[in-house]
Amino acid sequence: MKKKNLNAGQNNSKSDLLEKSPSNPSRRNLLKGAGLVGAAAVSAIATSHVIAADSANTNSNSKSIAPREALEALTAEEAETLAAICDCLIPSDEHGPGAREARAVHYIDKSLASHNSGSRHNYSIGLNAINEFARKTRGKSFPELLLDQQNSILLAVQTNKISGFIPNGSGFFNMLRSHTIDGTFCDPYYGGNQEFVGWGMLRYPGIRLGASEADVSAGASLPPNHQSAYDHSTYTKLADNSLLDTSSGDGYA
């Protein structure tokens, strides 16, 4: 079944939600525009918290069921709703995997227990508002709805046609979109971009401490090395040193 856009009658991918307006270019154009710089920038946004284990809950429209894992911040219902939303924002399609396969929810859950903890309440209020609206207007929770129905609700949130969000529907939608992008394209060290599927979408060959002239010439055709920044000893040492107590003057960076 072909996935449809939020705008009825159009054939663009529902990933148009990634842009500021649903009528803007598709996810594919976004990824092409992001390029190598986009991948590197996203991989640098997370903090030094180690992020692990998650729940990648299934959507009734998903082709496969991912195993459930421990959640750190979200409830099971919140994680299931968020997984469905992330799948709408960056869907898997004929071009490849999306936010679900990258386990963007995994990243978001861990971030809400650490460096994004200030957004935890906003998520609780917002995800509940989306589910309540879905039940009131469609008779089912958001993850149980058809894709077109999910998209219509997200468009209503984005355009402030549904109340109950902090600070408002548009602000909540923009936060969801930003965090979904983060979780899809971040350094895998932080919990998302599982098996480097996000970097693969961008044709980003991975972090390298140095690049030869041949590497530079190869550009995006350079074979991916599939390594986190923290697989390199230089970054690992920096992370370890940041945990040292330097109050006595004995620590060093």
SS3 state of residue 164:
coil
Structural domain count of the chain? 1
Residue 213 belongs to a domain: no
For 31, the domain range is: 19-208+220-241
| Interval 191-206 mean pLDDT | 84
Interatomic CA distance for residues 99 and 101, integer angstroms: 6
Question: For residue range 117-152, what is the model confidence (pLDDT) as tens digits?
Answer: 999 999 999 999 999 999 999 999 999 999 999 999
Q: For residue 111, tell me if it sits in a domain.
A: yes
Interior CA angle at 98 toward 155 and 137, to 5°?
A: 30
- What pLDDT shows up at residue 100? 93
Residue 13 falls within a domain, yes or no? no
Domain-located, residue 237:
yes
Q: Are 72 and 51 in contact (CB under 8 A)?
A: no
Predicted local confidence at residue 225, as pLDDT: 81
In a domain, 77, yes or no: yes
DSSP states along 52-78: --------TT-SS-PPP---SSS-HHH
Higher pLDDT, 183 or 41: 183
Residue 247 lies in a domain: no
Number of neighbouring beta carbons within 10 Å of residue 6: 22
Residue 77 has pLDDT above 90, yes or no: yes
What mean pLDDT do residues 201-217 have?
80
Average pLDDT over residues 11-39: 42
What is the model's pLDDT at position 237?
A: 55
38 pLDDT band, cuts 50/70/90, is very low
97 falls within a domain = yes
Per-residue pLDDT, 67: 53
Residue 194 has pLDDT above 70, yes or no: yes
Contacts of 47-51 with CB under 8 Å at 24 or more apart are: 47/114, 47/115, 48/239, 48/242, 49/110, 49/114, 49/115, 49/190, 50/189, 51/106, 51/107, 51/110, 51/111, 51/114, 51/189, 51/190, 51/191
Cross-strand partners of 93: 96
User: Do the domain assignments include residue 1?
Assistant: no
For residue 68, the model assigns a pLDDT of 59
Task: Tell me the H-state helices in 104-232.
Answer: 104-112, 120-138, 147-158, 169-185, 197-202, 213-218
